[in-house]
Chain A
Amino acid sequence: MTAAEVGRPAPRLAPSRGTRAPGAARTGLRLIRLYLASRRVLGALLVLVACALALRTALHWLPRTGVFSRQIPLIIEAGAAAAIGVTARSPFGEPERVTGRWLPVLRLGGTVALAGAAFGALAAGAASAHLAGGSIGLLRDLGGLVGIALLAAAVAGGGLSWIGPIGYLGVTMAAVTGAWATPWTWPARPPHDRGAAICAALVFAAGLAAVTLRGARDPAARE
């Protein structure tokens, strides 16, 4: 080998055109696994399963109509949303932000997957029982609450993101009993209310965009 050849890749290591390195898929899977582990996604899934069981139990005892039939499922949905928001917290902070090229994709994928899992778990928990608002209402309310949790994660940090949905739940309780008409308190609106659905979707999209692009706020002095 001459000096001119230094720095050239060895022929046997060069990937053939149009194909990926044999270890790339494995590396990608490892990256995803490490990302999910760093966000405690398994713990979040366990919380979601617990929420589904709680919803199942609650719907067994709850009356089909009345304030309780709306408020108690909503509390459980807020718990599921809070669990998703908490997973936005990164234990690595700035180093990961600087070096993680695929981080936005991982954040987007992880959050959407968890939101989907939450909807699936809660829908399964409500299967063969009467859920006020039905699946449409569940999708709208849960989506909006997840959006609030993600926005709170972007503003206050992943560890404190639960404040968003739990605080919003407090507002919603007043809205449900007071029959507020504003679509921004979407859980108090009928399931087919278009304005409420748009507001919930906007909040979900804003939360998803904030967490995807910026991530949760780094642990700061408050932590």
Chain B
Amino acid sequence: MTAATAPARSAPPRARRVPPAAAPARLLRIELRRSSMLWLLPLLAVLFYVSTYRPAMDNPPFWNIRGDMVQSRAMLVFAPLLAGAGAWIGSRDGRRGLVDLVGVTAVPRWAGQVVTWAAATIWAELLYLAGVAVLYGVTARQGAWGGPLWWPVAVGTAVVAASCALGFAAGARLPGRFTPPLAALVTFLALAGGAFAIQDNSRYAQIWPLNVQGPFPANSYAIFYPYLPDLAIAQVMFLAGLAAAALGALGLPAPAGGRWLRGAAAAITVAGLAAAGTAVGLAGTDRVEAHGMVIPALHNAASDRPTPYTPVCSHGAVPVCLQPAYRSFLPEVTAALGPLLGQLAGLPGEPVRVTQVAVTTVQSASSNGIGFGGPAIGGRPPALYLPLAGVSLPGEGSTSAEFIALLRGQYGPSIVNELVGLPASMAVIGVNSAGNPGHAAQFAVAQALDRALNGTAPARPRGTGASPPQAGLQAAVGRFAALPAAQRHAWLAVHLAALRAGRVTLSEIP
């Protein structure tokens, strides 16, 4: 055999080129399989049940209440643990003394760190979203009106990602045994401090990630109007900015990667800080409006269009119509207001129906409080417009009996005051504070009606003895309350217009 006839050697197999994106993807698969976050998932599931699911089930099935809980309650528990777990995972290479070793692998160190964070975050997000899916699924099966609120879930997922990122960055920079508990502790304290700052009515504290709609109680928004996402958008921007800044800062040191990679990390860090700062600034411009928190720069006018609905009504002498989300409370509302309105039926100006309406006026109060406009009588024929916002519903901290008593106590005097022509707020003032003598007769009739209709005890004068005008007022209240209902009704039918105009004196009250 000559060289010419020698069989040609087959060419060596060509090395298979690995696409640049394949290495991080493969690394992500490996990290997903061995992430320490997997060991935390059972604990997180238990905590979600205890802190969020169980309290949510103790409340009535309203999407706004459940949505509030998946943001505020779940994140109060998740964020510190995830920050600690992120620190633990981030400090892995440092604890094992592998920093130099992993620094010379094919995948740049920064990319490897980001992949490790992503794997941990994916598991945490999956668990959180699974918990939300169960909670929202059960809520839908309970017949909640409307649809689920997704913006609180978006904020929740951003909190999960940001907690993991901040903890991860702390662990990677300071790999020690005290770093994870300190990361968890600092996160807990930051969340608590944010709540405290909000209580102090600090404007910029509205960005606090557990803040759903500022001072609005959970049952007071996203019923008559769509959920206003302004604050949630700012929160997501803030949290995403924090996460980007934390992760970007990991890529700044020289061993993190090449020049381009470090440049990209620096750009991400700056962009993250800018986004977070902008979000805080935007949160500082928010204002309390009737349907939620509004940030002018982020507000969409489409959110101001009311949500259409068909009311559900009772069929008594004075029909009570509620928004369908409140369908299950129709018997209680009817029981609370029906007897009161029934006794006043037929009087001029007396409402012939009760209609639940959206809140039209709100007022910020101290300690992150809010005041809602009360009921009002208006229209032709007259109707009682009843906002139920902010009232503790049955199952939401009160029983049905307490709810009925609350409605009677809160709205009964207002209705009576409206009837006799007094300011609605005067109902809460005692006999001694009748103030304007021109209103004395109206006040006496209102007090007497309150007493007769609600069976309340007569208001006692303060101090040792009543002054002569107060004694006259009390005497008129006692006389009118002691009248038979039919006689009271007949007198009011004749004299109500004069009473409203202030032309009736105390002595003329029978």
- Main SS at interface, chain B: helix
Q: Are B196 and A68 within 8 A (Cβ)?
A: yes
Give A171 to B50 CA distance when docked, in angstroms.
7
Q: Are A40 and B178 within 8 A (Cβ)?
A: yes
Closest B residue to A81 using CB positions: B181
Q: Does A222 contact B (CB under 8 A)?
A: yes
Closest B residue to A71 using CB positions: B192
Q: Are A178 and B189 within 8 A (Cβ)?
A: no
Given contacts A54-B189, A61-B196, whether A170 and B50 have CB atoms under 8 Å apart is: yes
Q: Does B270 contact A (CB under 8 A)?
A: no
Closest B residue to A156 using CB positions: B39
Q: Interface-forming stretch among A72-80, A100-108, A115-123, A206-214?
A: A72-80
Give A166 to B185 CA distance when docked, in angstroms.
8
Residues of A within 8 Å of B, CB-based: how many?
35
Q: Does B40 contact A (CB under 8 A)?
A: yes
Q: Are A171 and B185 within 8 A (Cβ)?
A: no
Q: Are A47 and B95 within 8 A (Cβ)?
A: no
Closest B residue to A221 using CB positions: B34
Closest B residue to A169 using CB positions: B188
Q: Does B55 contact A (CB under 8 A)?
A: yes
Report B-chain residues with C-beta under 8 Å of the C-beta of A142: none
Q: Are A174 and B55 within 8 A (Cβ)?
A: yes
Sample 20 A-B pairs with CB under 8 A, ordered by A number: A47-B178, A68-B192, A68-B199, A82-B181, A83-B178, A86-B181, A156-B39, A158-B177, A159-B88, A163-B84, A166-B188, A167-B43, A167-B47, A170-B81, A173-B51, A173-B76, A174-B50, A174-B55, A223-B92, A223-B96
Q: Are A167 and B81 within 8 A (Cβ)?
A: yes
Report A-chain residues with C-beta under 8 Å of the C-beta of B192: 68, 71-72, 75
In the complex, which of the residues A76, A160, A167, A170 has the most CB atoms of chain B within 10 Å of its own CB atom?
A170
Q: Are B184 and A162 within 8 A (Cβ)?
A: yes
Q: Does B176 contact A (CB under 8 A)?
A: yes
Closest B residue to A62 using CB positions: B196
**Residues from 68 to 98 in B contacting A, C-beta threshold 8 Å:** 73, 76-77, 80-81, 84-85, 88, 92, 95-96
Interface range on chain B (Cβ under 8 Å from partner): 20 to 34
Give A129 to B189 CA distance when docked, in angstroms.
19
Q: Does A150 contact B (CB under 8 A)?
A: no
Give A40 to B95 CA distance when docked, in angstroms.
14
Closest A residue to B95 using CB positions: A223
Closest B residue to A180 using CB positions: B50
Q: Are B47 and A170 within 8 A (Cβ)?
A: yes
Given contacts A68-B195, A169-B188, whether A83 and B181 have CB atoms under 8 Å apart is: yes
Closest A residue to B92 using CB positions: A223
Q: Does B454 contact A (CB under 8 A)?
A: no
In the complex, which of the residues A62, A83, A159, A167 has the most CB atoms of chain B within 10 Å of its own CB atom?
A167
Q: Does B347 contact A (CB under 8 A)?
A: no
Contact of B51 among A47, A76, A82, A171 (CB under 8 A): A171
Report B-chain residues with C-beta under 8 Å of the C-beta of A62: 196
Give A163 to B84 CA distance when docked, in angstroms.
8
Report A-chain residues with C-beta under 8 Å of the C-beta of B81: 163, 166-167, 170
Cβ-closest 6 pairs across A and B:
A170-B77, A162-B181, A79-B185, A82-B181, A174-B51, A75-B188
**B24-60: contact bitstring with A at CB < 8 Å (1 yes, 0 no)?**
0000000000001001100100010011001100000
Q: Does A28 contact B (CB under 8 A)?
A: no
Report B-chain residues with C-beta under 8 Å of the C-beta of A159: 88, 95, 177, 180
Q: Are B176 and A43 within 8 A (Cβ)?
A: yes
Q: Does B182 contact A (CB under 8 A)?
A: yes
**Residues from 175 to 224 in B contacting A, C-beta threshold 8 Å:** 176-178, 180-182, 184-185, 188-189, 192, 195-196, 199
Closest B residue to A86 using CB positions: B177
Q: Are B84 and A173 within 8 A (Cβ)?
A: no
Q: Are B76 and A75 within 8 A (Cβ)?
A: no
Report B-chain residues with C-beta under 8 Å of the C-beta of A169: 80, 188
Beyond the given pairs A40-B177, A173-B77, A222-B39, 10 more chain A to chain B contacts, judged by CB atoms under 8 angstroms and listed by A's residue number, are: A68-B192, A79-B182, A79-B185, A156-B39, A162-B181, A163-B81, A170-B81, A173-B51, A174-B77, A223-B92
